[in-house]
């Protein structure tokens, strides 16, 4: 709930910002309209950008939580939460690992592919 409130507050601040100069054109770090995620690309991108902390197949490590876990099902952590985690980082809240820093080198498109891959892993594990 605390994380949801943080996301909501972020959205409100962005939506209410009256100045357009300096405003982030993609505040939620989403891929462009019409983007089609590819789980195969996501697997490669996950290994390159996420596996060192979240484990080879999303099983977690002492650096990051398992993403193939019921806590990260789509009804509790929507895809948007993954996009925002990459853009602005995440404070530790479910696991006893450190905070996740922002990852500015990972593009919104790459995150889209990664999320598709993680969701596929979750589905294979029976997490809906």
> Is 16 among the domain residues?
no
Q: Is 102 inside a domain boundary?
A: yes
* Residues paired with 100 in a beta bridge: 90
- The enclosing domain of 94 has a CATH number of 1.10.760.10
Q: What is the pLDDT of residues 27-72, one digit of tens each?
A: 888 999 999 999 999 999 999 999 999 999 999 999 999 999 999 9
| CB contact set of 113 (below 8 Å; sequence gap of 6+) | 37, 38, 39, 41, 42, 45
Residue 19 domain-assigned (yes or no): no
Helix/strand/coil for 25: coil
Instruction: Indicate whether 43 belongs to any domain.
Output: yes
Question: Has residue 26 been placed in a domain?
Answer: no
DSSP letter at 70 equals G
- Total domains present in the chain: 1
What is residue 24's predicted lDDT score, i.e. its pLDDT?
77
Asked if residue 103 is part of any domain, the answer here is yes
In a domain, 6, yes or no: no
- Domain range for 63: 36-124
For range 99-111, the mean pLDDT:
95
Residue 90: phi and psi, rounded to 5, are -140, 135
Whether 74 is covered by a domain: the verdict is: yes
């Amino acid at each position: 709930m605390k994380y949801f409130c943080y996301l909501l507050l972020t959205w409100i601040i962005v939506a209410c910002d009256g100045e357009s100069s300096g405003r982030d054109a993609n505040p939620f770090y989403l891929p462009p309209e019409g983007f089609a995620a590819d789980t195969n690309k996501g697997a490669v991108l996950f290994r390159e950008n996420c596996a060192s902390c979240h484990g080879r197949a999303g099983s977690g490590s002492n650096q990051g939580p398992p993403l193939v876990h019921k806590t990260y099902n789509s009804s509790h952590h929507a895809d948007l939460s993954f996009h925002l985690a990459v853009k602005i980082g995440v404070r530790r809240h479910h696991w006893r690992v450190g905070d996740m820093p922002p990852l500015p080198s990972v593009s919104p498109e790459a995150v889209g592919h990664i999320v598709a891959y993680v969701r596929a892993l979750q589905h294979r594990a029976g997490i809906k």
